[in-house]
Homo-oligomer: A and B are copies of this chain.
Amino acid sequence: MATKNQASGGVSRQVLADHVYEALLGALMDGRLEAGTPVSIDGMARELDVSPTPVREALARLEATGMVRRMALRGYRVAPLFSPEELADLMDARLVIEPANAFMACKHADQQLTGRLQQAIEDLKAAPRGPSFAEFRAYWEADERFHRMIAESANNQFLLSAYNALGGQVQRFRFFGGLGVTDADYAIAEHTEILKAFEAGDAELARQKMIDHIEGVKQRSQHDSEVRN
Q: Which residues of A pack against B, CB within 8 Å?
A: 13-15, 18, 53, 56-57, 60-61, 63-64, 66, 72-73, 86, 89-90, 92-94, 96-97, 100, 104, 156-159, 161-168
Q: Which of B53, B92, B159, B166 contacts A161 (CB 8 A)?
A: B166
Contacts of A73 in B (CB 8 A): 13, 15
Q: Point out which of A53, A93, A97, A156 has the most chain B C-beta atoms below 10 A from its C-beta.
A: A93
- Provide a sorted-by-A list of 24 A–B residue pairs whose CB atoms are within 8 angstroms: A13-B72, A15-B72, A53-B56, A56-B57, A60-B60, A60-B61, A61-B63, A61-B64, A64-B64, A86-B157, A90-B158, A92-B104, A92-B156, A92-B159, A93-B159, A93-B162, A94-B158, A96-B100, A96-B159, A158-B166, A161-B166, A161-B167, A162-B165, A165-B165
Contacts of A90 in B (CB 8 A): 158
Q: Which of B15, B61, B158, B165 contacts A168 (CB 8 A)?
A: B158
Q: How far is the CB of A174 from chain B (nearest CB, A)?
A: 15
Q: How far is the CB of A60 from chain B (nearest CB, A)?
A: 4
* Distance between Cα atoms of A165 and B13 in the complex (Å): 28
This chain's copy number in the assembly = 2
Q: Are A162 and B156 touching (Cβ within 8 A)?
A: no
Extra 5 A-B pairs, beta carbons < 8 Å, given A89-B156, A162-B166: A15-B72, A18-B72, A60-B60, A158-B165, A164-B165
Contacts of A64 in B (CB 8 A): 61, 64
Contacts of A97 in B (CB 8 A): 96-97, 162
* Distance between Cα atoms of A159 and B18 in the complex (Å): 28
Q: How far is the CB of A201 from chain B (nearest CB, A)?
A: 20
